Structure 1
Amino acid sequence: MKLVGQAAQYEWLKVNIFTHWVASSNQLSVLVFDAHPSLPESIAASFLPLTIESRRDPFWAYTKLMDEVARLEDVTVMAIRNYVRAIEKEAPQEKPEPPYRFLHDISRHAVHVTETLDVAVETMDGMLSLHESVKAQVGDDDIWQTVHGRLLFSQQLLKGLRWRSKANEKRLQNEIQLAFHMVTQYDSGVSVAIGKAAKEDSAAMKTISMLTLAFLPPTFISSIFSMSFFKFDADTGWTISNNFWIYWAWAVPTTLVTSALWYYWQKQRIPGRSQAEKGPRPERQSLSLCV
Structure 2
Amino acid sequence: MMPSLTKDPQSISRFEQGYTSSNVEAHSPFCLFQWHRGKHPTRKDILSVDELRNCGGWDLGILTAPTDEPASLPGLLKLVDLFGIPSDFVGERSHAVTHSFGIRKLGDESEIVWIRFLALLPSLPFHGKPRWRRSAVVLKWVPTPSSNNKSTSAPSRQVTLICFQPVEGILVAINRLFKSSRWEDALRDPYFLINASFETWHELVDENAWKLVDLSREAERSIFERSAQLEIDSAELLAIDYNSIHNLAKDAIHMVEGLDASLRSLECALRYHSEMEKLQRDDPAIWEATHRSLHYRREMFHSTRLRMLSVDQRLKNIINMAFNIGTMHDSRVMRQDSYVMKTLSILAMVFLPISTVSSIFGTQFFTTTTSPDPTSSTGAVNTSFVVNKKIWWLWTISIPVTVVMLVGWGVWIKRSQLKAERLTYWMKDVEKAKSA
TM-score tier by shorter-chain length is: 0.5 to 0.7
Identical positions, percent? 21
- Which residue, out of 166, 182, 188, partners 2:309? 166
- 1:172 Cα deviation after fit: 0.8
> Which is richer in helix?
1
- Which residue, out of 152, 177, 180, partners 2:320? 177
> Residues 167 and 40 of structure 1: is their aligned pair in 2 closer, same or farther, counting only changes over 3 Å?
closer
In structure 2, C-alpha distance between the alignment counterparts of 1:13 and 1:20, rounded to whole Å: 24
The residue that corresponds to 1:21 in the other structure is 141
In structure 1, C-alpha distance between the alignment counterparts of 2:330 and 2:167, rounded to whole Å: 53
* TM-score when normalising by structure 2: 0.45
Render the CA deviation track for 1:179-233: whole Å, top value 9, x for unaligned.
Answer: 22222222222212212212223444677888888999799xx9xxxxxxxxxxx
Count of residue correspondences: 220
Contact 1:19 1:28 in 2 (8 A): yes
The residue that corresponds to 1:128 in the other structure is 270
Question: Larger deviation: 123-132 or 53-62?
Answer: 53-62
The residue that corresponds to 1:112 in the other structure is 254
Equivalent residues in 2 for 1:1-291 (5 A)?
A: 1-7=120-126, 11-24=131-144, 25-33=156-164, 35=165, 39=166, 42-50=169-177, 51-90=183-222, 91=225, 92-94=228-230, 95=234, 96-97=237-238, 98-138=240-280, 139-204=282-347
Render the CA deviation track for 1:210-266: whole Å, top value 9, x for unaligned.
Answer: 8888999799xx9xxxxxxxxxxxxxxxxxxxxxxxxxxxxxxxxxxxxxxxxxxxx
> Which is richer in strand?
2
> Residues 54 and 4 of structure 1: is their aligned pair in 2 closer, same or farther, counting only changes over 3 Å?
closer
> Residues 136 and 30 of structure 1: is their aligned pair in 2 closer, same or farther, counting only changes over 3 Å?
same
In structure 2, C-alpha distance between the alignment counterparts of 1:133 and 1:2, rounded to whole Å: 35
**Aligned partner of 2:290: which letter?**
V
In structure 2, C-alpha distance between the alignment counterparts of 1:131 and 1:60, rounded to whole Å: 10
What secondary structure sits across from 2:160 in the alignment?
strand
Q: Which runs of 5+ in 2 are unaligned?
A: 1-119, 145-155, 178-182, 368-436
Contact 1:88 1:175 in 2 (8 A): yes
> Residues 121 and 3 of structure 1: is their aligned pair in 2 closer, same or farther, counting only changes over 3 Å?
closer
* TM-score when normalising by structure 1: 0.66
Contact 2:167 2:201 in 1 (8 A): no
When the two chains are superposed, the root-mean-square deviation of aligned CA atoms in Å is: 3.0
> Residues 185 and 41 of structure 1: is their aligned pair in 2 closer, same or farther, counting only changes over 3 Å?
closer
> Residues 7 and 119 of structure 1: is their aligned pair in 2 closer, same or farther, counting only changes over 3 Å?
closer
In structure 2, C-alpha distance between the alignment counterparts of 1:2 and 1:173, rounded to whole Å: 20
**Aligned partner of 1:121: which letter?**
L
In structure 1, C-alpha distance between the alignment counterparts of 2:261 and 2:331, rounded to whole Å: 44
**Aligned partner of 2:316: which letter?**
Q
- 1:151 Cα deviation after fit: 0.9
Contact 2:141 2:158 in 1 (8 A): yes
Contact 1:8 1:102 in 2 (8 A): no
